[in-house]
Amino acid sequence: MSFPYTPPDFLQNQSIDEIHRRMMDALPDNIDKSELQIPWDFTRPAAIEKAEFVEFELNETIKIMFVHWAEGRWLDLHGETWGLTRRPANQAFGYLTITARYGTVIPDGFQFATVSNLTASVLFQAMGEFSFTDPELVDTPREITMLVPTQAVEGGRSGNVPPDTIMLMVTPDTNISYVTNEQAFTGGTEAEEDDDYRQRILDAIRYGISYTGRDADYVRWSREIPAVGNVMVEPEWAGPGTVRVFIIDANGVPANDQILQAVYHHIIRDDDRMQRLAPIGATLTVVAPQPLLIHISANVRLFPGQDILTVLERFKNNLNRYWLRAATEHHTRDVQNQLAQNSVKYVFIGAELAGTDGIYDYEHDSLLVNGGTGNLIIEIGMFPVTGTVILNVVS
């Protein structure tokens, strides 16, 4: 969320010419104050310096004093006063299906890579040492297949790759015959941007910092973990003392196992109860909502020179932002009402389509959302996710 900045009244009308005019007006009238004369030349540099100080430096000073307008390291300082730090980039996570000769050992950090076509390969590494053995097998097979938890070497969205793209070993091992990711890797996010960080700080200011275990506390604690986007809290979902939180990652999709475990550990601290955030007696469950696939089709008209594939990606990005809004528009209400009554609104999807850069217009009667033209209810424990999107270009 960004906040427009308007200079206060006392910093208005402070351009070089306005300041210099006031300085010249203050000089005696019986001297030559015309341009390039000594009085004019001697006062002009002072007007330039003052204008720069007033128009730029004072305004920038005011901005860094307030969370609403501070940026970069100045915003970091505001966050630290509330015990909030900017979240670093997060590495994408997923599981590789690997088939290897029985007895093969994959060392911790063993690297894999995506197939390189027009883009550079993305590197991934095994999270631990894995031995391809199974003591429960009576007969030793020639090969064995395992799921190996793996994460991107570098943080960022580049690690969010689709299925069947991680198929190479950086250092080939002849004992390994097959490698692929049967599911997409998710959770890779860039370092937290100013606007997202600012919103977390403003939420802390608005709701306060407490450790009583209210809904706002669970939201704040969860969002301290890198890659967490939106959080929905369901208190007493399985009786008194139980709390369930649904986690959406910062890319607008249900969070992966790694993020869910990080949130749980951060709040419960099962390895160090002295660092526990949740109240004593609270039982926490951290899950990702079930995806509610939204399939969309429409006939569109493009502005000249626009490419449909580029426009399609822009529309999908707009949709992902709308899903977050749709899931949180009743966030201040009772959670049962919030999660059960939220909806994906047909008219809002049309608005996102019409507002996509490159789209001149669309045929309103052609827009179908899951095959229809009505709103879709977001049931408790579900989150809208972009499914198949088809945009047909018409003249």
Query: Rounded CA gap, 277 and 27, in Å?
Result: 67
**220: closest CA among 265, 269, 267?**
267
Determine, yes or no, domain membership for 103: yes
Shared domain for 309 and 281, answered yes or no, is no
Q: How many folded domains does the chain comprise?
A: 4
Residue 161 in domain: yes
Same domain, 130 and 217: no
Point out the domain boundary residue: 257, 287, 317. 287
Indicate the residue among 228, 260, 287 that finishes a domain.
287
In a domain, residue 197? The reply is: no
Q: How many CB atoms lie within 10 A of CB 213?
A: 20
Phi-psi region of 196 (alpha: psi -120 to 50; beta: other; left: phi over 0): alpha
Alpha-carbon dihedral angle through residues 357, 361, 366, 370, given to the nearest 10 degrees: 20
Question: Quick check: is 75 in a domain?
Answer: no
Long-range contacts of 48-53 (CB under 8 A, 24+ apart): 48/16, 50/14, 50/19, 51/14, 51/15, 51/16, 51/19
- Considering the domain architecture, whether residues 14 and 58 belong to the same structural domain is answered as yes
Residue 201 included in any domain: no
Q: Are 376 and 344 in contact (CB under 8 A)?
A: yes
The answer to which of 14-18, 130-134, 249-253, 300-304 has the lowest mean pLDDT is: 249-253
Given this model, what pLDDT does residue 330 score? Answer: 45
Tell me: pLDDT of 332 over 60. Answer: no
The range of the structural domain enclosing residue 250 comes to: 210-287
Residues 121 and 176 in one domain: yes
270 and 345 share a domain? no
Paired sense of beta strands 166-169 and 143-152, if any? unpaired
Does a structural domain hold residue 248?
yes
Distances (CA, A) of 53 to 12, 15, 60, 73, 102: 13, 10, 10, 21, 72
Mean pLDDT across the chain, nearest whole number? 90
Q: What is the share, in percent, of the chain residues with pLDDT greater than 90? A: 71
Q: Does residue 128 belong to any structural domain of this protein?
A: yes
Look at the block and give the residue holding tokens 């030349």: 41
Residue 139 has pLDDT above 90, yes or no: no
